[in-house]
């Protein structure tokens, strides 16, 4: 057995909420990536340890998920702890109990809460009233755990993050927001290529640019996907219609038609570009099968890395 207290120095984030990467320094983000890589290496070598023995993670889902649920639950088990799946309709939240009351009650039973929900204000309120750490499994504003997995994948494929050029093609949504912040804090140049009217939230763009100035990288928004992907090291896309936007699907299919990641578009990137997608994917819409299933695609490595970054976050916070 090895100790999974693998980082040379503590990140000093024990007990801290994990709501957005904007709350973490560049050093802390890089430290989490280093921890995730060590945990992954140990996992692949079949080495185990139980630093979270006796710890319990409560997982609240108001949005369904494959990767988030399985990676967090498996991660807690692999670290020696336990995870409880809590569908919001099975909680008193579904019958009108306040977020504040729910937070205080769950704080008596579990050691941390992971929530996947719609409003970012809800997770902030939950964290405010909870006396235990709260982890953002996804909100309409941010998806920080996904961004860590994205960075780890780029780092593994390219050997470094600093100076890489990442182009996100699609909606300026929660995935784009966390990618912008994560990239800006780690020296990655990022461009969001999106149709007019689908730009990232102005406040998130503003803070991302500020972080980029500190790291010497760039954060840009473009309405021309062809120009944006020129010489890109990595190309990323997401579904055009996210959960909760189903009523907008027909309009979005029309608005995003010129933003499909296809064989023509990726020819403008570097030959060894990495294709990323947070999944689930709609082949034939935001990406063609030839790209997502092609030799440049790292989407399943990226999905697998969700497990290891989740374990890094859990082990450091708990």
Q: How far apart are CA 195 and CA 254, in angstroms?
A: 10
Select which of 150, 233, 278, 302 is catalytic.
278
Select which of 146, 155, 164, 260 is catalytic.
146
Check the annotation: does 67 bind a ligand. yes
Check the annotation: does 174 bind a ligand. yes
Whose tokens are 């064989």? That residue is 263
Check the annotation: does 66 bind a ligand. yes
Respond yes or no: is residue 306 known to be catalytic: yes
Check the annotation: does 283 bind a ligand. no
Strand partners, 189: 165
Select which of 238, 252, 260, 308 is catalytic.
238
Respond yes or no: is residue 69 known to be catalytic: no
Select which of 120, 143, 277, 308 is catalytic.
143
Q: How far apart are CA 152 and CA 30, in angstroms?
A: 9
Respond yes or no: is residue 146 known to be catalytic: yes
The backbone region for 215, taken as left when phi is positive above 0, alpha when psi lies in -120 to 50, beta otherwise, is alpha
Respond yes or no: is residue 283 known to be catalytic: no
C-alpha to C-alpha distances, 110 to 83, 89, 99, 119, 155, nearest whole angstrom: 9, 19, 16, 23, 34
Select which of 17, 78, 111, 116 is catalytic.
116
Q: How far apart are CA 163 and CA 56, in angstroms?
A: 39
Check the annotation: does 144 bind a ligand. yes
Check the annotation: does 238 bind a ligand. yes
Do 191 and 221 meet the contact criterion of CB atoms below 8 Å apart? yes
Check the annotation: does 255 bind a ligand. no
Check the annotation: does 87 bind a ligand. no
Respond yes or no: is residue 95 known to be catalytic: no
Respond yes or no: is residue 43 known to be catalytic: no
Check the annotation: does 114 bind a ligand. no
Annotated binding-site ranges for carbamoyl phosphate: 65-68, 92, 116, 143-146, 278-279, 306
Query: Active-site positions?
Result: 116, 143, 146, 238, 278, 306
């Amino acid at each position: 057995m090895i100790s999974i207290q693998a980082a040379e120095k503590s990140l000093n984030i024990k007990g801290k909420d994990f709501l957005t990467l904007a709350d973490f320094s560049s050093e802390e983000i890089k430290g989490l990536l280093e921890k995730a890589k060590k945990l992954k290496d140990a996992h692949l070598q079949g080495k185990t340890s139980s630093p979270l023995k006796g710890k319990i993670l409560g997982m609240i889902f108001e949005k369904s998920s494959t990767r988030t649920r399985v990676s967090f639950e498996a991660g807690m088990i692999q670290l020696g702890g336990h995870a409880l799946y809590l569908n919001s309709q099975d909680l008193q939240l579904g019958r009108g109990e306040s977020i504040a009351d729910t937070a205080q009650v769950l704080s008596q039973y579990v050691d941390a809460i992971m929530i996947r929900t719609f409003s970012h204000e809800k997770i902030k309120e939950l964290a405010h009233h909870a006396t235990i750490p709260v982890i953002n499994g996804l909100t309409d504003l941010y998806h920080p755990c996904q961004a860590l997995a994205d960075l780890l994948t780029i780092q593994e494929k390219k050997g470094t993050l600093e100076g890489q050029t990442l182009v996100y093609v699609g909606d300026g949504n929660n995935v784009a927001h966390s990618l912008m912040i994560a990239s800006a804090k780690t020296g990655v140049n990022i461009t969001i290529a999106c149709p007019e009217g689908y730009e990232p939230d102005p406040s998130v763009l503003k803070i991302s640019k500020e972080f980029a100035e500190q790291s010497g990288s760039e954060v840009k928004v473009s309405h021309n996907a062809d120009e944006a992907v020129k010489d890109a090291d990595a190309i990323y896309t997401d579904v055009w219609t996210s959960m909760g936007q189903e009523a907008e699907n027909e309009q979005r299919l029309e608005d995003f038609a010129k933003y499909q990641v296809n064989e023509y578009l990726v020819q403008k990137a570097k030959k060894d570009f990495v294709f990323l997608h947070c999944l689930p994917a709609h082949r034939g819409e935001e990406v063609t099968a030839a790209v997502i299933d092609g030799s440049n695609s790292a989407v399943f490595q990226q999905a697998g890395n969700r497990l290891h970054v989740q374990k890094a976050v859990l082990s450091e916070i708990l």
